[in-house]
Structure 1
């Protein structure tokens, strides 16, 4: 029995990583933009993202005022970058995350995208994604999003089993998922579905049911994340009270292997530990920009930005975020210049998780011998290593964090 070890795999897909600066500005760069929409109809018991229900907010932090605030932050961010000598040729990817971005009217999302397009040109083949819950869209709203420039939608399916959805505090009807996917297809959007496995009480048969239901929708992309129960969540409190049983690592490994088997049989290939795509073109280019250390803006409460090793992150609460923007200032909570040695470690942590792998020369000389050790243990592809790249086998994916630790320590 193999122990699953994919904890860091979820970080790139949902969180908005951070922002960066350098002493030698390089004009003409590509940029990715993450727009964090921090609103949810209901807060799920496992979620520790920076999200709020409508009843928790008032004043300038409300949903109605959010688009204007986000656009004001874009203006200020562009001005700050220009003052530091940074310009961008194009925006290559945009990602509306949350929260549930589609709680906002479709016209609001399109307005924010149009405003961004007015500041920096979107690449002709720009990937523009919005996250959505299956019950937060209609045929009309998806058509409007596609008309306004959205190219891809990522639905939070999580499970097709009602009891699992109830444990996760998910409110949508699982039968709504195929309908939402069909509407998105009708609008011409690429479609990804997100699953979570390892929910307390979930069986291997439940996972099989969920994956098969997702694949039956003939999707372009599948994400499947192992449930990580963070300390300050309702589910963590249930665990401490003994109301739920913690996920078993061996059980999680079996579930991961099942997801991979079913996805591959359906014609999807893995390209990151927790992500599968039908073709290379249908991989999430936005998330790949994170995993490859690109530059991105993070717009919205709590969002992070990255520009050449300088990271900054915004004030988390929407009301404080809005009040700071109203004063004409960027709502930055703090920043850090990441040392070169830390950036080298992060490169290993992120690039090793993708199917393209990590260049051997990126591994410190003092730990490079561990590459051969992990090859011999069946964790790294021998042929790729001979060609100068460290690429995880499936067994290596299950133990990715352990492999990474050996290469960076």
Structure 2
């Protein structure tokens, strides 16, 4: 089990052990900013988000932004001589609710605390219904280089089950507006396996994705998370739970359709038109990089130490206003933890996992998995890497457990 550390209550440079700071800057370094605001709550979502009716005056976007600036300044002090950010990812929630000016202020705060590396990737998530040509032009001018749009589906009845409020055609239009504003890299998110989604609905969604001309697609199987409105509907029998066989069939359809259009998988749930189109921020996660997660509920990782912030925006802002850290807790990953996480993350990417990351038992399991058609046997022999086959991608989670021992 990870070694739990006490909550850090003051912004002192000794907040992280020297072992965590050693090598800082030699690994990819990213900044994640969590925007906790949403116009409505989607029934499937269990992220740390709040609608206007769920917050009081102490949780305004301005108090959140004030807290964010304070946390980023704290981060620079804790890290000592922090590296410039290779990537920035603004997620949520609904970052586009801040508007172009608000997102410009977020990026200014990151620049002020860390600076941006040459050629830094700067991404913001956006909901199609809270964007416009003027919005995209504004964030492009502010320095954003990449946009990720939540599409989920092109079928109106599927969007209704997910409690999404945008019209089916709006994501494609928004992607076009982003490209017209000068964004070379635009992602569309798709969710598949929603109760009531038919194969023809998924085909229509994929046709819409390809019509949008984006260079990146993320596709995620619907997970019914406990505590969500969707989970309550499934439990009451109003909706069926997602079916594993259907999810596998839909994944294969997504992969073959995108591949035929020149979008190749580079991580189990992500496809890109080229290496340059890949999301470098997420690649940093998968390859064991460092990142500082700022905002309510955000998680961070530096040199084998992981921590997470308090969730409520008012508590987050008040702690920082008082000169305290917003951290709710942290843990030091053991060697066994880091071994498991490396296998879990690197096995998911197209380059695969180096075999020297496995012990003798893991190597034996890799050979067995290749014989079963789950790993590419030629990559195992010629490149000394465990690389998932098409079938292996469908069974990746179970394979991780086998290789980790």
TM-score tier (shorter): over 0.9
**Corresponding residue for residue 11 of structure 1:** none
After the TM superposition, which residues 63-142 of structure 1 pair with which residues of structure 2 at under 5 Å, given as runs?
Answer: 63-82=61-80, 87-142=81-136
| Residues 129 and 166, structure 2, Cα contact 8 Å, conserved in 1 | yes
CA distance in 1, matches of 2:238, 2:308: 35
CA distance in 2, matches of 1:183, 1:296: 30
**Corresponding residue for residue 314 of structure 2:** 319
Note if 1:160 corresponds to 2:149. no
Note if 1:26 corresponds to 2:13. no
Post-superposition Cα deviations, 1:319-353, rounded to whole Å, max 9, x if no partner, equal 11111011011100000001011101100000000
Note if 1:399 corresponds to 2:395. yes
Q: How far apart are 1:89 and its partner, in Å?
A: 3.2
| Residues 76 and 82, structure 2, Cα contact 8 Å, conserved in 1 | no
Q: How far apart are 1:182 and its partner, in Å?
A: 1.2
After the TM superposition, which residues 313-392 of structure 1 pair with which residues of structure 2 at under 5 Å, given as runs?
Answer: 313-386=308-381, 387-392=383-388
CA distance in 1, matches of 2:43, 2:113: 38
Distance 1:110 1:264, change over 3 A: same
CA distance in 2, matches of 1:350, 1:20: 24
| Residues 314 and 334, structure 1, Cα contact 8 Å, conserved in 2 | yes
After the TM superposition, which residues 195-344 of structure 1 pair with which residues of structure 2 at under 5 Å, given as runs?
Answer: 195-344=190-339
CA distance in 2, matches of 1:41, 1:367: 47
CA distance in 2, matches of 1:351, 1:20: 26
Q: How far apart are 1:236 and its partner, in Å?
A: 0.5
Q: How far apart are 1:202 and its partner, in Å?
A: 0.6
Q: How far apart are 1:60 and its partner, in Å?
A: 2.8
| Residues 173 and 212, structure 2, Cα contact 8 Å, conserved in 1 | no
| Counterpart pick for 2:173 among 175, 179, 191 | 179
**Corresponding residue for residue 8 of structure 2:** none
Query: What 5-or-longer segments of structure 2 have no aligned partner?
Result: 1-14
SS of match in other structure, 2:62:
coil
SS of match in other structure, 2:237:
coil
How many matched pairs? 387
CA distance in 2, matches of 1:174, 1:28: 43
**Corresponding residue for residue 47 of structure 1:** 45
SS of match in other structure, 1:104:
helix
| Residues 22 and 303, structure 2, Cα contact 8 Å, conserved in 1 | no
CA distance in 1, matches of 2:233, 2:16: 38
Query: What 5-or-longer segments of structure 1 have no aligned partner?
Result: 1-18
| Residues 22 and 310, structure 1, Cα contact 8 Å, conserved in 2 | no
CA distance in 2, matches of 1:91, 1:177: 29
| Residues 21 and 308, structure 1, Cα contact 8 Å, conserved in 2 | no
Distance 1:27 1:307, change over 3 A: closer
TM-score, normalised via structure 1 length:
0.92
Distance 1:364 1:20, change over 3 A: farther
